[in-house]
A and B are shown apart, each in its own frame.
Chain A
Amino acid sequence: MPILPEAARRLVASPPGDFLELRGERIRQQRMVCSAGSLVDYGPVLSQGLAARVLKDGVWGWASRDGFEEAATVASRAGSLASSAGGRGNAVLPPFVPAAGFFDKPCVERFDEVPDREKAFQCQRYGELLSSLVHGAPCRVVYSERRREKEIVNSAGTDVSEVENICAFRFELPGSPLSVFRDMAGRSGYEFFRSREKLLDEVAAEYSSASDISPVESGRSRVILDPELTGMFVHEVFGHILEAGAHPFSPALSGMLSPGTEIAPSCVTIVDDATHYDMPGSMAYDDEGIPGCRKVLVSSGRVKSRLHSLATAGAAGMPPTGNGRAGSHRSPLAARMTCTYLAPGDRSLEGLLSMMPDGLLLEGALSGSTNMDRFRLTARKAWRIRSGKPVRPAGPCTIAGRILDTLGTISGAGSDLSLSSGLWGCSRPGYATVPVSYGGPYMLLGPVTIHPGV
């Protein structure tokens, strides 16, 4: 499935700088929204184009253009942009082994083999089922599919391509005081959207019981996070600060994140693994053509590695880790997570509960975010734990705090592991949203600050 024309591929033989990379992309996506029984949004988009990146005199120049006709112009423009800084940069290219290959994880049902009519019917059917379960309350069903083909060649000899299919959906009951929803995503074909009736039951049951659930009390408490929340915690609290380039190399933080530095208790081992090929964020090759792989970021509480793109690896004097990612050809690259999780420990949930006779068991991730200094994480539901037993459910709640204050409070990891992913992916200021997944086992931490609501 060549994307780049032969003439474009030949350009890398004579780069307009120290290094030239060309990335061709063809993305076909479809989105449907069904609300109150009707299809209110429907949007197939075909997007294709190329991005060129040049390293020249210590400055990265990057240019992109829709379509493939003007590859030489785009490559030349990237070179000119790098030159426009007047050699003021100190960027260097790290050593790496150029890869070659093609990867396409087969789908059971390819998106283009299922008619749009059938997809729309399925959205409406789920909508009607959900509405009937909640006595006609308004509901929304969102369906999203994305097929991305990419091809990367560079002047160092890299020549790789990959196909990525992602299917995602969301069932939502807008409500007062709070909306109830579930969303899921998988690196999969249309089969991922089938047979989701059980999830509809879950959403409806949560909506129907929402008025009977009291809010959680504000304050500080120890908490056990379920695997989905553990994953989001790991993503927000560990993952983002370990993405090289996500924050400035201020002395305060660069010292804290040096390899070998202890940042968490010994029960904490954090992994970023791009090879979970059922999960969004997985990839055989990153968007710079570096093979995706499994990296241990934190081993027994100590920093072992950070996530790098070519640019950040060059700046840090480290090898790239296969985490250079862009949302599309229109978006520049950055070091981003793939599938990030807390490695399982050796305790059962009962064992963790016995370590926390009083506290909260939090279930389901609604949202999470960080500004690199502080984080917040919102849980769908909380169970009050008394004498090691769940006694009373409570509504959505948010835990928040300073990252540095919270890392040391992790005191136990369960023995199970499950991975999750949502409809939207991970956003970062200045860059495109990229698919990611996250997970872990049950995890005990705290005390942390808790507030009711979202």
Chain B
Amino acid sequence: MHQAERLLKLAGAVSEAAEVAGVEGVSSGVRIVPGGGISIEESTSSDLCVRMIRNGRLGLGAASGSGDLPTILDMAIAGSRAGMTVGWSFPPAADAGEIETRHPALAVIGIEDLAGLLLGIEDAIREQSPHAAVTGTICRRDLEIFLANTSGFQGSYGKSVIDLDLELSFPEKDGMLVQSLRFASGLPLASPRTICEAAVRVASESGRKVSVPRGAMPVVLSPAVLCALLQSFRAGVGARALLDRSSPLADLQGSRVAPAAVTLLDRPRLPYGAASAPFDAEGVPTHDRHLIREGILCGSVNDLATAAALGVEPTGNASRSPGEMPRPSCTNLVLEPGTASLGELLQAHESCVLIRELLPGSSGDALSGEFCFDVALAVLFDHGEPAGRIENLSMTGNALEMIGSIEAVESALYSVETDWLPSVLIPSASLESGA
């Protein structure tokens, strides 16, 4: 990070204030390629980004793989001529404390282990269906993050994350049953059999196709589907949407938005969370915070700019990709577990639909929460027993209203994307299964 320190000195000399962020990473992974076999991949990256306040305006420059510091400075100086006027300062030195971001068990995971895991998953699903196939990747990312500014903040941390992004395809008489496995976590991986256990179970369950009458029915949303539903909530508690009044949550702080069973936290200090960090992308120390406490909306997320505009303290939720201005974002969302098992959720009503997976791209309108989800995999349950898969199912509604109607929460949490979420029971969802 010597380059970063040099860049900060140079930037500080030509501006009122400056900040430098550096990320160095190595990503090693294994990919199953078509026609059999595997591809072994490794990518080494080095990003450097400077922000400077010059004549009261903000400029940014970023580069990867370049030791050419003057070029990055030139970009930031040019940007400051066009950039926004700044009404805030870079944060001073602060003790962000330490958090667990690098699990010792991940340090010893090598390419061979990842390949073995991937091939193990392939073996496990082929026990169920000889022509089943796995596509996708599994990789380990090791990151070193550095941030410093001319107000005195300087911090760094390392992080290791396993990214798993697989599609499991089970050939059927009239097409394929496709199931996704997707998560990012800093925790050691489970065995291949455990990872694909649920997918294999679904494939082995009755291939019988059923339909449901158009109308409202109780549904159990899998953690993956709940994660998609929470996109609207992520957007709605972002301070930019609150500032421009485009968030439907703008006037609901302190109000009930969900039943008391719902407590949702943003946990940037979650041990080994994929989005965990001791300080955010601007150097503000992070804190685990309630967004919904027992059904009451009690939090929003902001960065330095939005906090200044709202006249509040920054929450330590700035995030950014290399070369982008920070923006307020949730980190690891955790919905506190309830008391019921998945089986109990499925038995709570005479019949209900377990929505396991949505088609890719099913996000609805992120801000308003209006959605029409096309369901990739849903199973009808009758008195808690699977009665068949539902084809061509769609579910419509409003994500924020649906979160507000959660009847019960599962007692176990699962890793989805960067979140830890349970299944939830919704007493009434608008469903339609086409012909």
CB-based contact A62/B65 at 8 Å: no
CB-based contact A449/B435 at 8 Å: yes
Residues of A in contact with B, size category = 35 or more
Complex: A175 Cα to B368 Cα, angstroms? 7
B residues 162-182 touching A (CB-CB < 8 Å): 165, 167, 169, 171-172, 174-178, 180, 182
CB-based contact B359/A374 at 8 Å: yes
CB-based contact B135/A368 at 8 Å: no
CB-based contact A66/B244 at 8 Å: no
A311 in the interface, Cβ–Cβ < 8 Å? yes
CB-based contact B35/A84 at 8 Å: no
How close is A372's CB to chain B, nearest CB, in angstroms? 6
Residue among A77, A315, A454 facing the most chain B CB atoms (10 A cut-off): A454
Complex: A175 Cα to B177 Cα, angstroms? 36
A41 in the interface, Cβ–Cβ < 8 Å? yes
Residue among B34, B37, B246, B325 facing the most chain A CB atoms (10 A cut-off): B34
How close is A113's CB to chain B, nearest CB, in angstroms? 13
Complex: A402 Cα to B65 Cα, angstroms? 44
- Looking at the complex, which of A88-96, A265-273, A384-392 is the stretch in contact with chain B? A88-96
- Looking at the complex, which of B41-49, B186-194, B253-261 is the stretch in contact with chain A? B41-49
A423 in the interface, Cβ–Cβ < 8 Å? no
Residues of B in contact with A, size category = 35 or more
CB-based contact B82/A117 at 8 Å: yes
Are A401 and B392 also in contact (CB < 8 A) when A36-B244, A249-B133 are? Answer: yes
CB-based contact B368/A249 at 8 Å: no
A-side contacts of B71, CB under 8 Å: 46
A295 in the interface, Cβ–Cβ < 8 Å? no
CB-based contact B359/A371 at 8 Å: yes
Question: What residue of chain B has the Cβ atom nearest to residue A453's Cβ?
Answer: B372
How close is A15's CB to chain B, nearest CB, in angstroms? 16
CB-based contact A47/B82 at 8 Å: no
Are A451 and B40 also in contact (CB < 8 A) when A48-B66, A252-B172 are? Answer: no
Partner of B362, one of A179, A246, A369: A369
CB-based contact A398/B368 at 8 Å: no
B383 in the interface, Cβ–Cβ < 8 Å? no
A280 in the interface, Cβ–Cβ < 8 Å? no
How close is B47's CB to chain A, nearest CB, in angstroms? 8
CB-based contact B62/A43 at 8 Å: yes
CB-based contact B42/A40 at 8 Å: no
CB-based contact A315/B432 at 8 Å: no
Complex: A138 Cα to B175 Cα, angstroms? 45
B-side contacts of A400, CB under 8 Å: 359, 374, 392, 394, 434
- Looking at the complex, which of A53-61, A97-105, A186-194, A348-356 is the stretch in contact with chain B? A53-61
CB-based contact B62/A63 at 8 Å: no
How close is B19's CB to chain A, nearest CB, in angstroms? 14
Partner of B41, one of A62, A91, A121: A62
Are A248 and B169 also in contact (CB < 8 A) when A451-B372, A452-B396, A453-B370 are? Answer: yes
Instruction: Identify 7 residue pairs between A and B in the complex whose beta-carbon atoms are under 8 Å apart, listed by A's number.
Output: A45-B62, A45-B64, A91-B35, A176-B367, A247-B169, A372-B176, A373-B176
- A39-B84, A369-B360 are known; give 13 further A-B pairs, CB within 8 A: A35-B240, A47-B63, A59-B37, A61-B41, A62-B39, A66-B66, A90-B35, A120-B82, A138-B246, A177-B370, A250-B131, A370-B360, A402-B392
